Amino acid sequence: MSTPIEMAGNPPLKARWIARRNAIFASSRFHYWAARIPLIRSVARGRATRMMDHLVGFSYSQVLRACVESGLLDILANGPVCKSDVAGEIDLSENAALTLLRAARALDLAEEAYEDGWMLGQQGAVLQADPGTQAMIRHHRLLYTDLEDTLGLLRKDRKEPTALSRYWSYAGALHGAAERGEETREYSELMAASQRFVADEVIGAYPFPERGRLLDVGGGHGAFLRRVGEAYPQLELGLFDLPEVVETAREPLAGILGSDRISCHPGNFFEDEIPRGYDMISLVRILHDHDDEPAMALLRNIRNGLEKGGRLLIAEPMAGIPGAEPMGDAFFGLYLWAMGSGRPRTKGEIKSMLHEAGFSKAKSVATAQPVIASCIVANA
């Protein structure tokens, strides 16, 4: 049996307060007392519910996955349907179909309009209309595989292969996927979904200049640039990524945004100079994919490519964001560990890195949904 760790010397006030609080919360006498006082009882129930969500949350994610992979959401979109129809469509017994329907109802993915008349719930209606989010749910089967033995994953050398690291090449970008068929389709859907979510958050939070030149570094097939370009029709746009990526992105981007607005620059942002002549550079869900040393090298490279007064926009999920802490460390922390590269960073850590890279000032830009992305803008 482990013994409590002794606090050396005089521990900080916060540490003493946490130790005292935890001792109270662990007391059965406190639980008995808290259950009988109305205001305290409400707080205690809320904490118990959150703990139960932590305890059984894995089953919620698997219900979500089953609803997507079975096609149940599409079936319910044409509802009302009965359990026997659902069973026939997704190759389950009627009892198994009913179990899944009830589980989906508990998560607001399904709703029983009348006895054995099943339709989409509110959350189900949102999800069924969003193929991008469905692509992300299907993609998470790889993470579930890696997290089957979480301690085993954490004890591995990060260079050892995992289900996620096999999928992601080049530290989080399956860029060279032109001949990989189904894998390419899944990658394209996944990137389009994640970049669209982030782009909408950034556009809603940060006022881009009406005129100017924006270069998206590591911009993949241009999902972020396309959203920004549609919102700011006078902005000139540039894409910098690996040669095979730029080549596949060039024609679609030109067709949507106009060939006179878009410039494509092939290169490797660790090895090649960042193209010059841009007022602003964006890094969208790139920095957290890389460990500290390559991330610093990238920031220095970008700083060298910006003239005085130019700006760098960083947009990605970050650690330690109030209200979004689980997404930063509990999800992306483990996701990136399984990927074998990168980590979520706090705003303070990123700002320190920017200062070290030579940027003069960095400020945070609040987003409406920090679980999707937070923003930092730095001046060269």
Pairing of β 117-120 and β 361-365: unpaired
Q: Is residue 9 classed as helix, strand or coil in its secondary structure?
A: coil
Q: What is residue 32's predicted lDDT score, i.e. its pLDDT?
A: 62
In sequence order, the 6+-apart residues with CB closer than 8 A to the CB of 101 are 72, 83, 86, 110, 112, 118
- What's the pLDDT score for residue 52? 79
pLDDT digits (tens, 9 = 90+) for 144-202: 999 999 999 999 998 899 998 888 753 344 444 444 445 555 666 676 667 788 899 99
Looking at per-residue pLDDT, the higher value among 188 and 13 belongs to: 13
Cα 137 to its chain centre, rounded Å, is: 11
pLDDT for the residue numbered 56? 83
Integer Cα distance of 173 and 177 in angstroms: 9
Return d(Cα 96, Cα 215) in angstroms, integer. 51
More confidently predicted of 2 and 357? 357
pLDDT band, residue 323 (cuts 50/70/90)? confident
Task: Indicate whether 265 pLDDT > 90.
Answer: yes
Q: What is the CA radius of gyration of the chain?
A: 24
The tens digit of pLDDT for each residue in 200-218 reads 999 999 999 888 999 999 9
* pLDDT given for residue 33 in this prediction: 65
Tokens of 380: 């060269």
Residue 202 · residue 225 · CB < 8 Å: no
Give residue 47's pLDDT: 66
Q: Which residue has the higher pLDDT, 170 or 280?
A: 280
pLDDT band, very low/low/confident/very high, at 97 (cuts 50, 70, 90): very high
User: CA–CA separation, 280 vs 222, rounded Å?
Assistant: 16
Three-class secondary structure assignment of 343-371: CCCEHHHHHHHHHHHCCCEEEEECCCCCC
Phi, psi of 280 (to 5 degrees): -145, 145
- Distant-in-sequence, close-in-space partners of 132: CB < 8 Å, separation ≥ 6: 189, 190, 192, 193, 194, 196, 197
Q: What is the pTM of this model?
A: 0.81
- pLDDT > 70: percent of the chain: 86
pLDDT of residue 40: 66
**CATH fold label, 28-129:** Arc Repressor Mutant, subunit A (1.10.10)
Q: What is the pLDDT of residues 25-53, one digit of tens each?
A: 667 776 666 666 776 666 666 667 777 77
Mean pLDDT of 254-264: 92
Instruction: Say which residues have a Cβ less than 8 Å from residue 212's Cβ, sequence separation at least 6.
Output: 235, 236, 279, 280
Which segment of 114-118, 125-129, 163-167 scores lowest on mean pLDDT? 163-167
DSSP 78-133: T--B-HHHHHHHHT--HHHHHHHHHHHHHTTSEEEEETTEEEE-HHHHHHHT-HHH
Which whole number is the average pLDDT over 290-308?
A: 96
Please report the pLDDT score of residue 186 as a whole number. Answer: 62
- Asked if residue 129 has pLDDT above 80, the reply is yes
Share of the chain above pLDDT 90, in %: 62
Q: Name the residue ranges covered by the structural domains of the chain.
A: 28-129, 144-379
pLDDT for 279 beyond 60:
yes
CATH class of segment(s) 144-379: alpha beta
